[in-house]
Protein backbone atom coordinates (compact mmCIF):
# COMPACT_ATOMS: atom_id res chain seq x y z
CA UNK A 1 0.00 0.00 0.00
CA UNK A 2 2.82 2.45 0.74
CA UNK A 3 5.03 3.76 -2.03
CA UNK A 4 8.25 1.84 -2.48
CA UNK A 5 11.68 3.23 -1.72
CA UNK A 6 12.61 3.16 -5.41
CA UNK A 7 9.45 5.03 -6.42
CA UNK A 8 10.09 7.61 -3.70
CA UNK A 9 13.70 8.15 -4.85
CA UNK A 10 12.51 8.47 -8.45
CA UNK A 11 9.98 11.16 -7.48
CA UNK A 12 12.54 13.04 -5.39
CA UNK A 13 15.05 12.89 -8.24
CA UNK A 14 12.63 14.19 -10.85
CA UNK A 15 11.13 17.03 -8.78
CA UNK A 16 14.10 18.16 -6.67
CA UNK A 17 15.86 21.47 -7.17
CA UNK A 18 19.31 20.09 -6.38
CA UNK A 19 21.20 16.98 -5.32
CA UNK A 20 20.26 16.94 -1.64
CA UNK A 21 16.82 18.54 -1.97
CA UNK A 22 14.04 16.53 -0.34
CA UNK A 23 11.99 19.25 1.33
CA UNK A 24 11.10 21.69 -1.42
CA UNK A 25 7.37 22.17 -2.03
CA UNK A 26 7.63 20.47 -5.43
CA UNK A 27 9.02 17.27 -3.90
CA UNK A 28 6.52 17.29 -1.04
CA UNK A 29 3.61 17.76 -3.45
CA UNK A 30 4.84 14.91 -5.65
CA UNK A 31 5.20 12.53 -2.69
CA UNK A 32 1.78 13.46 -1.29
CA UNK A 33 0.20 12.98 -4.71
CA UNK A 34 1.68 9.49 -4.98
CA UNK A 35 0.31 8.56 -1.54
CA UNK A 36 -3.09 10.11 -2.33
CA UNK A 37 -3.35 8.14 -5.58
CA UNK A 38 -2.41 4.96 -3.73
CA UNK A 39 -5.05 5.52 -1.05
CA UNK A 40 -7.70 6.37 -3.62
CA UNK A 41 -7.32 2.88 -5.07
CA UNK A 42 -7.56 1.42 -1.56
CA UNK A 43 -11.00 2.97 -1.09
CA UNK A 44 -12.39 1.25 -4.16
CA UNK A 45 -12.29 -2.05 -2.23
CA UNK A 46 -12.50 -0.77 1.38
CA UNK A 47 -15.24 1.84 1.26
CA UNK A 48 -15.89 1.81 5.03
CA UNK A 49 -12.30 2.48 6.13
CA UNK A 50 -13.01 5.82 7.78
CA UNK A 51 -9.71 6.05 9.68
CA UNK A 52 -7.74 5.93 6.44
CA UNK A 53 -10.19 8.35 4.84
CA UNK A 54 -9.35 10.86 7.56
CA UNK A 55 -5.66 10.46 6.77
CA UNK A 56 -6.41 10.93 3.08
CA UNK A 57 -8.29 14.16 3.77
CA UNK A 58 -5.38 15.45 5.87
CA UNK A 59 -2.96 14.67 3.03
CA UNK A 60 -5.19 16.43 0.49
CA UNK A 61 -5.36 19.46 2.78
CA UNK A 62 -1.59 19.53 3.26
CA UNK A 63 -1.04 19.25 -0.50
CA UNK A 64 -3.52 22.06 -1.07
CA UNK A 65 -1.60 24.30 1.32
CA UNK A 66 1.70 23.52 -0.39
CA UNK A 67 0.16 24.23 -3.79
CA UNK A 68 -1.16 27.55 -2.52
CA UNK A 69 2.31 28.47 -1.22
CA UNK A 70 3.90 27.53 -4.51
CA UNK A 71 1.26 29.45 -6.49
CA UNK A 72 1.95 32.63 -4.50
CA UNK A 73 5.75 32.39 -4.54
CA UNK A 74 6.66 30.80 -7.89
CA UNK A 75 3.83 30.73 -10.44
CA UNK A 76 5.96 29.08 -13.14
CA UNK A 77 6.93 26.13 -10.90
CA UNK A 78 3.32 25.84 -9.74
CA UNK A 79 2.01 25.43 -13.28
CA UNK A 80 4.80 22.99 -14.12
CA UNK A 81 4.03 20.80 -11.09
CA UNK A 82 0.31 20.80 -11.90
CA UNK A 83 0.91 19.69 -15.45
CA UNK A 84 3.50 17.04 -14.59
CA UNK A 85 1.36 15.46 -11.87
CA UNK A 86 -1.95 15.84 -13.67
CA UNK A 87 -3.60 17.74 -10.83
CA UNK A 88 -6.73 19.72 -11.71
CA UNK A 89 -7.02 23.28 -10.41
Domains, the chain: 25-43+50-89 (1.10.287.10)
Report the chain's mean pLDDT, rounded to a whole number.
Answer: 95
Mean pLDDT confidence for 38-51: 94
Integer Cα distance of 65 and 10 in angstroms = 23
Q: Is residue 43 helix, strand or coil? A: helix
pTM of the model: 0.93
The candidate with the shortest Cα–Cα distance to 87, out of 42, 12, 32, is 32
Cα first-last separation, the chain: 26
Cβ–Cβ < 8 Å for 18, 29: no
Residue of 68 and 2 predicted with greater confidence: 68
DSSP state of 17: S
Amino acid sequence: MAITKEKKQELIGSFSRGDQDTGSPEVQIALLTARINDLTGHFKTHSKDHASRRGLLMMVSKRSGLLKYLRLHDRKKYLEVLSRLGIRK
